[in-house]
Homo-oligomer: A and B are copies of this chain.
Amino acid sequence: MSVGDELLAANAAYTESFALANLTSRPIRRFAVVTCMDVRLDPVAFLGLAPGDAHVIRNAGGVVSDDALRSLVVSHTLMGTQEAFVIGHTACGMQRFTDDEIRARVAENAGVDAGAIQFFTFDDVAESVRAGVRRIQESPYLPGSFAASGFVYDVASGSLSPVD
């Protein structure tokens, strides 16, 4: 069975108890989350989100990239969110490697120079979260009333800590 077929089988089971047809695209709790794609993170679970509550944006590192910012501008402008939470985590792959180390691995693996890609690795997760929060606060595409703050998620305990 291919992975795609496994996903379709799991989805068929999911649809049997599906009861979310009445939700709309507007976030009920009017916020968005930016966090990492990491397999250990389930933001819906660790934030106690219900279906319909919030936008969830995820990428490698949970960085406020141009694309995360595009998504936040859509979230606020079209869907009415008023606040964003940037959530980094301990033991992130983007902290264990540098951009140059990733480029060396890509060169080894795919035989190409990935010098054109900025990977957004970081030394300090709290500092990466602060930079993301600042980027949201300083975006000209979001009004000053749009709030942003940050947390670090601890993959060893499941707990969130605010980043000042």
Nearest neighbor of A30 in chain B, beta-carbon distance: B3
**Do A45 and B158 touch across chains, with their CB atoms under 8 A apart?**
no
Oligomeric state, in copies: 2
B8 A37 Cβ-Cβ under 8 A: no
Q: Which residues of B contact A42 (CB under 8 A)?
A: 44, 51
Which of B20, B78, B149 contacts A102, CB < 8 Å?
B78
Please determine whether B14 and A40 come into contact, CB atoms closer than 8 angstroms: no
**CB nearest to A121 among chain B residues:** B74
- Give CA–CA (A4, B83) in the complex, Å: 10
> Is A131 at the interface (CB under 8 A from chain B)?
no
Closest to A120 in B: B70
- Chain A interface, >50% SS class: mixed
- A23–B52 Cα distance when bound, in Å, is 28
Whether A7 sits at the interface, judged by CB under 8 Å, is yes
Flag if A11 contacts B67 (CB, 8 Å). no
- Identify the A interface with B (CB < 8 A): 3-4, 7-15, 18, 20-21, 23, 25-29, 31-32, 37-40, 42, 44-48, 51-61, 65-68, 70-71, 73-79, 83, 85, 91-94, 97, 102, 105-106, 109-110, 112, 114, 117-120, 140-143, 149, 151, 155-160, 162
